[in-house]
Amino acid sequence: MQKILDDINELMAANTDRGKVADYIPQLACVDSNQFGITVVLADGQVFSAGSSAQLFSIQSISKVFTLTMALGKIGDALWSNVGREPSGDAFNSIVQLEHEHGKPRNPFINAGAIAVVDAIMMGHQPKETLAEIVQFVRYIANDSSISIDDKVARSEVETGHRNASLAHFMASFGRIKHLVDCVLGTYYHHCSIAMNCEQLAQAGMFLALDGMHQNSTNRVVSAQRARRINSLMLMCGHYDGSGEFAYRVGLPGKSGVGGGILAIAPGKASIAVWSPGLDSVGNSKLGTEALEILVQQTGWSIFGH
Ligand code: DON
């Protein structure tokens, strides 16, 4: 495994076509696109890394996997009355479908869906309390109490979040947002701004690779059925309008973020985190996807076979 990752790291370092760093959130535009990191945690707990795997980055939409997990824990299937489970085929911040579908977002991973998920988690709490709970949960699943929010990125998102504010108010007009829109949005921006490195992120994904079990303990994070269902949502919706392409090339449940990270799960086998800030045309890490494509070719880990 170490040799595979070292080879991938070398190939990625030589790759000059690195995509484009997200610039609609000013604080993300400052990140150097010449970086790449990867970590694989095997089901037995062995950890392998290459490149800048210890470098913190903004996990952005990858956080939506964790908030979805929390929302299902709090309100269970009631979540699905306000959020769908179908791929959108649209951009992550698109508003068009919402009007046709009466303010019900297609899935929990597009921005509108993730905003509705945060609203469900808040359940009468103040944004600060909800945020503390989200960070606490991520620290628990990653086994790492140092994980925290990058306030600079959060502020940058608040200042430029007109599109998300439109989505949230539009849903509120259909009675689908229960809390003050600004409080929901603030909580959403802050959980997107959690900073993690590949090592921490791969650890955080372990419960999805282990049928819902917490790594290093006999505790359960979620039931095996729930882990399977979250994985299936990641496969179908985790890369927005690039989800089909990601399934075709990589064939693993995965969730991308505009910070350039991707969390991919090989059920029963491994949890994988890759990071490279340059994005493709639909907002998914360009080198991250290429690296995962090579990794599954080398390991045969695609859920669709060799
Ligand atoms: O709301 C936003 O636009 C960002 N906080 C998250 C978007 C994102 O990561 C989409 N992922 N590819």
Q: In the chain, what is the straight-line distance between the N-terminal and C-terminal CA atoms, in Å?
A: 17
Q: Is the CB of 258 under 6 A from ligand 1?
A: yes
What's the pLDDT at 234? 98
What's the pLDDT at 217? 78
Distance 274 CA to ligand 1 centre (A): 17
The token duo for 122 is 């808040």
Rounded mean pLDDT of 15-24? 94
Atom of ligand 1 nearest to the CA of 111: 1
What's the pLDDT at 262? 98
Q: What is the pLDDT of residues 46-59, one digit of tens each?
A: 999 999 999 999 99
Rounded mean pLDDT of 19-39? 95
Q: Is the CB of 257 under 6 A from ligand 1?
A: yes
Q: Is the CB of 283 under 6 A from ligand 1?
A: yes
Q: Is the CB of 289 under 6 A from ligand 1?
A: no
- Residue bearing tokens 């945690």: 41
Look at the chain and count its residues: 306
Note if the pTM is more than 0.95. yes
Return d(Cα 141, Cα 206) in angstroms, integer.
8
The set of long-range contacts for 175-179, using a CB threshold of 8 Å and a minimum separation of 24, is 175/103, 176/82, 176/103, 176/104, 176/116, 176/119, 177/115, 177/116, 177/119, 178/119, 178/122, 179/119, 179/122, 179/124
Q: Which fold has domain 61-194?
A: Beta-lactamase (3.40.710)
The token duo for 37 is 């990191």
Atom of ligand 1 nearest to the CA of 157: 5
The token duo for 53 is 């795997």
Q: Is the CB of 143 under 6 A from ligand 1?
A: no
Return d(Cα 53, Cα 39) in angstroms, integer.
6
Contact 109, 233 (CB under 8 A): yes
Contact 64, 108 (CB under 8 A): yes
Mutate to test the pocket of ligand 1, among 92, 117, 158 (most ligand atoms within 8 A of CB): 92
Contact 204, 215 (CB under 8 A): no
Taking only Cα atoms into account, the Rg of the chain, rounded to an integer number of angstroms, comes to 18
> Which class would CATH give 2-60+196-299?
alpha beta
What's the pLDDT at 124? 85
Residue nearest to atom 11 of ligand 1 (CA): 257
Distance 61 CA to ligand 1 centre (A): 5
Q: What is the pLDDT of residues 154-165, one digit of tens each?
A: 999 999 999 999
Q: Is the CB of 130 under 6 A from ligand 1?
A: no
What's the pLDDT at 216? 80
What's the pLDDT at 155? 97
Contact 243, 233 (CB under 8 A): no
Q: What is the pLDDT of residues 196-213, one digit of tens each?
A: 999 999 999 999 999 999
Could you list the active site residues?
Answer: 61, 64, 188, 240, 258
DSSP codes joined into one string, 27-80? HHHTS-SS--EEEEEETTS-EEEEESTT--EE-GGGHHHHHHHHHHHHHGGGGG
Where are the CATH 3.40.710.10 domain residues in the chain?
Answer: 2-60+196-299, 61-194
Cβ neighbours of 277 (radius 10 Å) = 28
Tell me the pLDDT of the chain averaged across its residues: 97
Backbone angles phi, psi at 158, to 5 degrees: -60, -45
Return d(Cα 100, Cα 235) in angstroms, integer.
24
Rounded mean pLDDT of 99-114? 96
Q: What is the pLDDT of residues 59-78, one digit of tens each?
A: 999 999 999 999 999 999 99
Distance 81 CA to ligand 1 centre (A): 23
